[in-house]
Amino acid sequence: MIKKTLLLFVSFTFHLISFKSFSQDIYVGKEKSTTITFLSVAPLEKITSTNKAAIPVFNSSTGDFQIRIPMRQFEFQNQQMKEHFNENFVESEKYPYCVFKGKSNVTNFEEGKEYTVTISGIIELHGVKKELSVTGQVKKQNNSLFMNASFDIVLADFNIEIPKLLSDNIAKQVKVTFNSELVEYKKK
């Protein structure tokens, strides 16, 4: 009887420790803290768009990172640009999300330190999957992870065609920036 009780206690304690450790390793984007911006600089026009609806998830013990970006949530200078973006370029009705899943080369961040990290994985945009490596910074502060990065995407790599008529208005390559505060995941 004592052996069974001891075994149950040890098993239960191990479960609690492993769960606590697991939950402290998972970080999710704090509500409305993630900003994804893309910038197209072409000869006749500069276009900027921002999306604040994506929520990244990061496991600091394994380095696994994932983000799903709702394409319809990009905001533009005017409604016509948004319609063209969704209907003619990214076809967001057919391809509603851009997804990136990768692995960080750095894990287990110390409080107050900033790290240069590279997250390598697969991005799926406009129905096309490609390998992508993104280098950025991560800083742990007040138990939050602050992440930022920027990288370029060539639209043709994702079968996003620019009509000849608009070739002076839309760049063939766009700069994407990502900023987010990720907080420890708390199971409810």
pLDDT given at position 4: 41
Residue 98 inside a domain? The answer is yes
pLDDT given at position 10: 30
Higher pLDDT, 78 or 24: 78
Residue 145 inside a domain? The answer is yes
Residue 71 inside a domain? The answer is yes
pLDDT for residue 67 is more than 70? yes
Residue 97 inside a domain? The answer is yes
Residue 95 inside a domain? The answer is yes
Residue 21 inside a domain? The answer is no
Contacts of 39 (CB under 8 A, 6+ apart): 46, 47, 48, 174, 175, 177
Mean pLDDT of 154-163: 93
Question: pLDDT tens across 111-145, in order?
Answer: 999 999 999 999 999 999 999 999 999 999 999 99
Query: Which two tokens mark 61?
Result: 């013990």
Query: For residue 176, what are the domain limits?
Result: 27-184
Mean pLDDT of 70-74: 97
Name the pTM for this structure.
Answer: 0.83
Residue 11 inside a domain? The answer is no
- What's the total number of domains in the chain? 1
pLDDT given at position 166: 85
DSSP per residue, the chain:
-HHHHHHHHHHHHHHHHHHHHHHHHEEEEPTT--EEEEEEE-SS-EEEEEE-----EEETTT-EEEEEEEGGG-B-SSHHHHHHIIIIIS-TTTS-EEEEEEEES--SPPBT-EEEEEEEEEEEETTEEEEEEEEEEEEEETTEEEEEEEEEEEGGGGT----GGGTTTS-SEEEEEEEEEEEE----
Whichever domain contains 143, its CATH number is 2.40.128.110
